[in-house]
Amino acid sequence: MSNTCKWISFGVVSLGVVVILVFLYHLSQENNSKCPNEGELMQNDTRECFKRETKGPCFNNLVFVEDKPRSPYGACSCPYMEFNRTIIYYEGQCYFVFSQAYCNEGYWLNVTTHGEPVCELNPCSQQVTQELEAVGVEWVQIKDGRCVQLGKWAEGCPEGSTVRFSRNYVRPSCFQPVTLGQTIGAISAPSIRKCPAGSYLAISGKCQPTMEFDFDY
């Protein structure tokens, strides 16, 4: 065989390998998605497809997301990744921590370090009734035990910072304000980011972070 011939057959073989790899890759992608449209997940029992991160077939304020990382099947979950504020699943609904939720008047929802929901006396409920009840004003407790307004500057906070929730901590604290997409509002809009790997285990609302709940801020 001449040198040119060798190079040509080498080229043909390489090209063949590339084509086969591309084909196999496509095949594997194809097998993974069960739904005709991109961004959709299948509900296993009904074989119906719904756009991921939307309400889909879910009740109340749950959203439809992958039941496992990279799964083509969906399951209903709380929008854990959409908010920095800890979200607690209880009997088919998602609630923000330190909201009254399903608790009695004067109580609010907390979470144990193991992630179980508990109703406890709301230490800030006095504040609410003392002040004129302004719509959208929410009182939360910061580390030193004081009740302060969420989303506002509080005494002792660095200048320009506001009391906000941070991912990774249950309790709110002083943080520099964010300029984009402030999310202090209610749980409603179902548009959430992908759950990080390892955070899918859950009570029924899937996608619960597996970490312990950290209060030490």
Q: Which residues form the interface with ligand NAG (CB under 6 A)?
A: 44-45, 73, 84, 110, 112-113, 141, 164, 166-168, 171, 178, 182-183, 215
Looking at the Cβ atoms of 54 and 141, the one nearer to ligand NAG is 141
Q: Three-state DSSP class for 88?
A: strand
Other beta carbons less than 10 A from residue 12's beta carbon: 10
- Tokens coding 213: 């709940």
Looking at the Cβ atoms of 152 and 167, the one nearer to ligand NAG is 167
Closest distance to ligand NAG from the beta carbon of 67 (Å): 6
Is-contact 71 81, C-beta < 8 A?
Answer: no
Which string of DSSP letters, residue by residue, matches 48-106? Answer: -EEETTB-TT--TT-EEEESSTT-SBEEEE--GGG-SS-EEEETTEEEETTS-TTSPTT
Closest distance to ligand NAG from the beta carbon of 173 (Å): 10
Closest distance to ligand NAG from the beta carbon of 73 (Å): 5
Looking at the Cβ atoms of 23 and 215, the one nearer to ligand NAG is 215
Gap between the Cα atoms of 118 and 97, Å rounded: 10
For the chain, give percent helix, strand, coil, nearest 5.
20, 20, 60
Closest distance to ligand NAG from the beta carbon of 6 (Å): 49
Looking at the Cβ atoms of 38 and 45, the one nearer to ligand NAG is 45
Closest distance to ligand NAG from the beta carbon of 11 (Å): 43
Looking at the Cβ atoms of 104 and 113, the one nearer to ligand NAG is 113
Gap between the Cα atoms of 89 and 23, Å rounded: 43
Q: For the chain, what is the radius of gyration of the CA atoms? A: 25
C-alpha closest to that of 128 among 155, 99, 156, 157: 99
Quickly tell me which residue has 């939307």 as its tokens: 54
Looking at the Cβ atoms of 161 and 183, the one nearer to ligand NAG is 183
Closest distance to ligand NAG from the beta carbon of 132 (Å): 24
